With several copies, the nearest count.
Chain A
């Protein structure tokens, strides 16, 4: 289903999702319950939509002031895959959302501020353009939107199709992590190769490397953007106290190398290392 289906973004991307064959069974838009939009029944609330249609995944296309509530509404209504595209959600809202989601352990949140996910030729939730993709064995997981498209295109152009492409989003406080997504790829029979596209900041790449270092059946290439980005103009020490030396491109690349994962220095190198 799609939350905010009648909005401009919601409408446009619902059509894109339908064009790929995604089974969009419901949408929400408070006050428009009972109407139909793009051939899809519209409900006032997610709980109403779930009750009527059995929807189990939701893409969220609502503005930042309403997106945190939309995520929690989806989780409380029993949605198990929540994909939040919205960019610009305040961090403290997301921290509260993350705590709320602890009460709904079967709900997985992707994003916010992410392009969503796509299984080429099958279905998608979010905004990843279908035409950069091609069906195949490579799992692709990324923190960056446009870099995902760039690498996806390059893979497709080289004949390396993708099983699923997952954009986890660029915000500091996210739902699914690299680690979570890699665990899912490990269990996915259609995936034999893996590309991880990280960036500076946080320790999610380090944690992913640690997981891969314990042994993986996937042939993996990692790429980190921001190698030459200067350290932010920090003020205060709190950040430094808790993060220490983690979070730099160097520490992330080193973590992947120590885990036996090939590291690409430019995106152009990824295809070669993956073969």
Chain B
């Protein structure tokens, strides 16, 4: 689960990291109220993706009028596919210098890595490429956490010895997000040293492990209801699906991430573009298939659906029956090609054919067939698609 900036800052503040005062605004009027409370503010788009600054999603407001205008411009703006639902108005900082500090999981090392650099700010990736030695690194032992002497070494290695005390404290608190929140990534960039010498989080990014949600129900309750940009991903999440929106026109369902990804590859090879990635996992129960199909069909760009299932334990005839049922329930009119393999594949194919669904002999043929059919397809009338939920999607703000 990726938290928005203001949520990440709430969490970091609860861990003892200094943050500037700020106010969430869903309307320009609320942004003006924020200005009146805080004085000069940065008005910042709240989206769970980087690069909003370069996209015009952050504006400085020195007057109430500027705050209103900034909020007007930013709320509703599209940043990398996310429609901005609200802004965060934060007291502007007098910046003396910008530091980078963060941690993430280093897959190769099978460990967490702490990163610290005196060259913080928006160009940190460039710094990493051009002068990797300017980023100090530490792999804390996962049972012990970072030791004091390791933090001291990290801070001196980054050339930030004169800030050893505040930095060690901030890094120690930031690290608490690992044992206490199952954080996978947490980042403060920039960590601002103000002209007054305070060290304070200018921005914050935080991602927690959804596999550990059962350990952090409070976090899930507080922030899990908050809805991200893409409406199909939001709907898929509600239905418990592993779903990622893409920008093509072929809907994809597969069982297993690897098989699903290789299906995407085949569609592209056949000249088409996938509209999504949707892994229904092992077992492939009828209900899950129906949910997956429903979400895919909500997207008006979709012109055909390819389902690729290899039945290891799953029986092909049962998958076929479930699929036919789902198609009928959803009154699906779009072309549907199914590649069904493994246990009882013959019986499954027979059921599909009897119900007018095209079985592919193998995955590559199935991919070619759906691309062909989708290309011929004329747009379906909107009435034939399941609707998105009627209520408007709104962000909840924990007050």
Q: Interface of A with B (CB < 8 Å)?
A: 30-31, 33, 44-48, 64-66, 69-70, 72-73, 76, 88-96, 98-100, 115, 127-129, 131-132, 142-150, 153, 170, 172-174, 197, 199-204, 207, 223, 225-230, 233-244, 265-268
Contact = CB atoms under 8 A, between A and B. Distances in A.
B49 A30 contact: no
B263 to A, nearest CB: 9
Interface string B70-99: 000000000011000000000000000000
B103 A238 contact: yes
B269 A149 contact: no
Given A236-B50, A237-B124, A146 B259 contact: yes
Interface in B272-324: 274, 277, 282, 310, 312-313
B207 interface: yes
Contact of A242 (B106, B148, B277): B106
Interface of B: 2, 48-50, 80-81, 100, 102-108, 110-113, 115, 124-125, 128-129, 135, 141-144, 147-150, 152-153, 156, 161-162, 164, 178-179, 182-185, 187, 189, 205, 207, 209, 211-212, 214-215, 246, 254-259, 261-262, 264-269, 274, 277, 282, 310, 312-313, 341-343, 362-364
Given A203-B108, A236-B205, A145 B256 contact: yes
Contact of A44 (B104, B113, B152): B152
B308 to A, nearest CB: 9
A100 B269 CA distance: 44
B258 A90 contact: no
A11 to B, nearest CB: 14
Contacts of A145: 256, 258, 282, 312
A142 B142 CA distance: 28
A89 B211 contact: yes
A72 B143 CA distance: 14
A214 B338 CA distance: 42
A237 B152 contact: no
A173 B105 CA distance: 9
A95 B105 contact: yes
A266 B111 contact: no
B274 A228 contact: yes
A128 B215 CA distance: 31
A235 B113 contact: no
B125 to A, nearest CB: 5
A66 B107 CA distance: 22
A127 B283 CA distance: 12
A95 B269 CA distance: 37
B125 A268 contact: no
A31 B152 CA distance: 10
A234 B179 CA distance: 23
Contact of A238 (B142, B185, B209, B282): B185
B258 A197 contact: yes
30 contacts: A30-B152, A72-B147, A72-B149, A76-B147, A90-B209, A90-B211, A91-B212, A95-B110, A96-B142, A99-B141, A99-B142, A127-B313, A131-B343, A132-B342, A145-B256, A145-B312, A146-B312, A148-B258, A149-B342, A153-B342, A203-B108, A223-B262, A225-B259, A229-B264, A233-B48, A234-B49, A235-B50, A236-B102, A236-B104, A238-B115
Given A72-B147, A127-B312, A202 B362 contact: no
A201 to B, nearest CB: 7
A47 B258 contact: no
B116 to A, nearest CB: 11
Given A128-B312, A204-B108, A238-B104, A96 B143 contact: yes
Nearest to B188: A236
B225 to A, nearest CB: 19
Contacts of B258: 142-148, 170, 197, 199, 225-226
The listed residue with most A CB atoms (<10 A of its CB), out of B80, B259, B312, is B312
Contacts of B129: 244
A115 B341 CA distance: 18
Given A129-B313, A203-B107, 13 more contacts: A30-B164, A73-B149, A92-B179, A128-B312, A153-B342, A225-B258, A226-B261, A226-B265, A229-B277, A235-B49, A242-B104, A242-B113, A268-B364
A46 to B, nearest CB: 7
Nearest to A93: B212
Complex A-B, nearest 4 residue pairs according to Cβ-Cβ distance, in ascending order: A144-B258, A146-B256, A73-B149, A238-B104
A220 B107 CA distance: 25
Contacts of A146: 254-256, 258-259, 282, 310, 312
A225 B265 contact: yes
A174 B150 CA distance: 23
Contacts of B268: 227-228
A228 B271 CA distance: 12
A170 B142 contact: no
Contact of B143 (A99, A148, A201): A99
B128 A92 contact: no
A241 B100 CA distance: 11
Contacts of A31: 161-162, 164
Given A132-B342, A144-B256, A228-B274, A241 B152 contact: no
B156 A199 contact: no
B246 A230 contact: yes
Contacts of B259: 144, 146-147, 150, 225
A73 B185 CA distance: 27
A150 B310 contact: yes
A45 B343 contact: no
B159 to A, nearest CB: 11
A269 to B, nearest CB: 9
Given A238-B185, A241-B125, A129 B343 contact: yes
